[in-house]
Amino acid sequence: MGLLLYKLPIRLFILCFGFIIAKDLHVFGTFDFNRNGKSEIFKLHGLTAPLELVELNQDGSHISLWQYAPENDESIVDVKFADLNNDGIEELIVAQRGNKENNWLSIFEWNGESFVKNKEPLKKEAPQADLIRPSNLASFANIFSASISTPSRSSVVFSLELKEGTPIKTNSRINTSPLISNGYGPVYVGMFKVGKDGYAALISPEGNLLKVSVFSLSNINQDVSSEILPLNGARVILGPDIQPYDENNDGNQELLIPFATDEVYALAFTTDSGITFTESKLSQSGLFGMKSAAGEDEINSAILNRIASGLYAPPLGINPSTVNDSLVILVSDTLMLGDSLNMFILPDSIGEFYSFKWSAPPPSGMKLNPNNLKVEWVPKREHIGVVDLSYFLEVRLKEELISAENEFGDTHQIYPVLQNKDSSFVVLVGDTIKPPEPFVLIPPRFHRVEISTKDIKETDRFTFDGETPFSATTVNSNGIITVGVGANLSWIKQDKSGAFNFMSSSAKPESLVTLSIIHDLSNNIFYASLLPAVDSLSQSFDLEGWDLNRYLFPEYFFEGFPLNMALDSISGIGVVSLFSSEETASGLVSISSPLYDQQHGMNISYFGGKPHAIRGDISVKENGSHKTLTEIDFESSFSPTSINVWLNPVNRDTLIFHADSIPDTLKTKATFRSFYSQAKVINKIPPDIIPDSLTIDSSVVEDSLTSQPLDGLEIKSEPIQEGVDSLTIDSPLVLPDSTR
């Protein structure tokens, strides 16, 4: 048996004061170094230790086997695993960030019970100083690459091995490009395989753009390929989680790039098509970006989800043919009726196809196409559910000459050297038919950005170019002009986005400072950046770790802001200060966004130039999660003088009406879950309070509806996700005031 999903919840926390640096928890697995049949994982940046080897019991509990903390003020940025001495046991390679030469790379060897640090000095081809402050570490076989953010904005690629206990670093070279070197902020590196060739990608996130340069590992003279790609609101790259992955099962790897905002992108490269950058099927799946305080249940769930997605091998002891309700089903692919299966049968093979046969009868219509070596299939209604498949495959690795003699003399014949492989996979086939759905009233959820300053004159004109959900306002109060843009997030449907541009009619100034603000409302991550940057270091704040009562606040990330930011509570009014100075302010930026049953507010006081433009975009993913992106341009300068945040409670109950035409099954229980709060299901209203007609305000409901009798209401489709208990209301119906 492997991981079990049941475990009593454990809440871990750190209570500290002042400046909080929040680090994401990174999990690597699964292993079995002690060969006891239980899965093990590595935890990087956990609460117990900076680096920890943990064993997973059958009940899901964790047992610490080994811990490591660097000396002095050094910090661990990434870990990788490779068999450096060809003894069949992987070594642990740790990349650290410190201030000492030759101290950024450490190697640990497994002695049967724990890891022991190799204390032999690292031998290099050149004796020069090796001062590297990496952002992450990548590996490909025994080839490694470390990112170097400052001062060169490059990556170093090298071979690493252990000979008689001595680590040896060879074949070192530096990869960089003009596109990357002319930039700002941290850079990251990743390595992946396409065909028989290996590639290294150097990436630099800068605002809403990602600069990428790809280098060949085998041909150092190959021209570099570089691109500038849009990030579409994804922010904060999780460097240790960058990894190769065959996204489309075509035998070629892509480079997975996860973000703290839960997007996961797949970066691909071919000599014909160049660099492509698409959102991965693993995006918005909660596979990465756990907090350091994540408990055992959350970690176990992430591990099982990674196994199901193909990122991890199954935990030790799990037999896919005997999966029970406590274990995740190891699904190779998920299809809906109407979808097509195209699965390549040689994704990781180093040989050539030789033979194929089914080990068990496949479902009707499923066949192997011998021309492209893909299993092709279109499921039918009788296939709905779990489809278990298995086949026998022979791969030709090479050919061998066999010489012999017979009664007439010598004989010679070429025989293939074959590798046999029994393979199986599980396909989950889903139904596309949906049951009738209830009529849903969704309350408004307002997002708003405003700028107040005396630098804007009454005669100044702003032009607004925006889509339906957005509206712009301009208010004059005692000589202080406030311009702002707002939107009702309830009006933006799932898998859609809306954008706006609110710009001054005056000519674009020669010098601009851009304030970028992103709020991922589902993961509750708030990101802000300044360009040009005041400082190049990133800062983050976890209010829950600072004060447990602040658990509803977002996790804040700042790039380009002054380094003297710190947490402080403004007593008596529930406001938290992230930055405070004695400087005089010339304006105020206010941001308000809905968070479940709370409204999040932020005020940024600043001293700077006149606001020139406000641009924004709001997107809603297929799972209903919202993300807001706002960029504000200021003339010449922008310096924050104070940053305060707070939460206000708001009633956002979603109301669900069951008309008489709704089936009885839906009258007793509705499977609708509001993204922000619990839904209230209204099955029956007493006759004395039923109005003759129900008028729906277009500001409340996503689609404009005309007044019509309740009995004749058209059933509007809204996503059905999760069941809630029915509720009978015996008092007059009053729509909640979501702006209270």
How many whole angstroms separate alpha carbon 610 and alpha carbon 266? Answer: 39
Contact 376, 340 (CB under 8 A): yes
Average pLDDT over residues 27-51: 87
Residue 360's pLDDT is 81
What pLDDT, in 10s, does the model give residues 544-591? 878 888 888 998 999 889 988 988 888 667 899 999 998 899 999 999
Please report which residue ranges of 69-177 form alpha helices under DSSP H: none
Question: 163 pLDDT exceeds 60?
Answer: yes
Q: List the single range of 86-90, 91-95, 584-588 with lowest mean pLDDT.
A: 86-90
Question: 78 pLDDT exceeds 70?
Answer: yes
What pLDDT, in 10s, does the model give residues 372-409? 889 999 988 888 877 778 888 888 888 888 898 988 99
| Neighbouring residues of 428: CB distance < 8 A, sequence distance ≥ 6 | 329, 331, 333, 334, 335, 385, 386, 387
Average pLDDT over residues 482-495: 79
How many whole angstroms separate alpha carbon 258 and alpha carbon 249? Answer: 19
Over the chain, what is the mean pLDDT? 76
pTM of this structure: 0.57
Nearest to 255 by CA among 194, 333, 303, 206: 194
Residue 183's pLDDT is 80
Residue 348's pLDDT is 58
What pLDDT, in 10s, does the model give residues 450-474? 999 988 888 888 888 877 678 888 8
Higher pLDDT, 131 or 284: 284
How many whole angstroms separate alpha carbon 8 and alpha carbon 60? Answer: 9
Pairing of strands 409-430, 333-336: parallel
Q: Report percent pLDDT > 90 for the chain.
A: 23
Average pLDDT over residues 104-132: 78
Residue 211's pLDDT is 93
Higher pLDDT, 698 or 621: 621
How many whole angstroms separate alpha carbon 145 and alpha carbon 409? Answer: 57
What pLDDT, in 10s, does the model give residues 325-364? 322 334 456 777 778 888 888 765 567 888 999 988 888 8
| Neighbouring residues of 537: CB distance < 8 A, sequence distance ≥ 6 | 563
Average pLDDT over residues 432-459: 74
Question: 657 pLDDT exceeds 60?
Answer: no
Contact 641, 583 (CB under 8 A): yes
Average pLDDT over residues 687-691: 39
Residue 131's pLDDT is 57
How many whole angstroms separate alpha carbon 57 and alpha carbon 36? Answer: 11
Residue 247's pLDDT is 85
Contact 117, 106 (CB under 8 A): yes
| Neighbouring residues of 526: CB distance < 8 A, sequence distance ≥ 6 | 517, 518, 519, 520, 554, 555, 556, 557, 600, 602
Contact 532, 513 (CB under 8 A): yes
